[in-house]
Amino acid sequence: MDVSSTIYTHLGQVNDPEIPVLSLHDMGILRAVKVLPETDERHAQALERFRTSHPDAPNEHADHVYEIVISPTYVGCPAMDRMSQDIEEAMFVRQLPFAITQQLQPSLTTEWISAEGRKKNGSLRYCTAGFRVSR
């Protein structure tokens, strides 16, 4: 069973480490969750990591490897390692194999901020460095 949308919702609760009142979803950083093709070299690596860290997990949890796509607010963003770590911790709880992809293009824009993120952030004057503001 493909549970990509459930994972996306679960990861939507992970907060941005620099602006903790906003989630990675609110900021537009969490771009997608999809099934990673078995032909992708990361598939086998993710399954091996999963089986090592979750030896007692039900076999059906290994039916799919999920690719989690995130975009930095700007190239070289120092918070990307922390965001990846937070995603890893959230996925550990779900007991599902995954790989994280950092998508650099297209560049993140303020258009990607969710309606809830805009509401929480008010006028959007509080953005991280390098964030391309849409006009």
- Which residues span the domain enclosing 73? 4-121
Overall domain count for the chain: 1
**pTM value?**
0.85
Does 37 reside within a domain? Answer: yes
How many whole angstroms separate alpha carbon 98 and alpha carbon 95?
10
Backbone dihedral angles phi then psi of residue 116, each to the nearest 5 degrees: -65, -40
Q: Confidence class of residue 129 from pLDDT cuts 50, 70 and 90?
A: very low
**Residue 23 banded pLDDT, cuts 50, 70, 90:** very high
Residue 134 within any structural domain of the chain: no
Residue 69 lies in a domain: yes
pLDDT of residue 19: 86
pLDDT at res. 126: 53
Does position 125 have pLDDT exceeding 60, yes or no?
Answer: no
131 in a structural domain: no
In a domain, 133, yes or no: no
Q: Is 37 within 8 Å of 43 (Cβ atoms)?
A: yes
Asked if residue 127 belongs to a domain, the reply is: no
pLDDT tens-place string over residues 31-90 = 999 999 999 999 999 999 999 999 999 999 999 999 999 999 888 888 999 999 999 999
CATH number at residue 47: 3.30.300.130
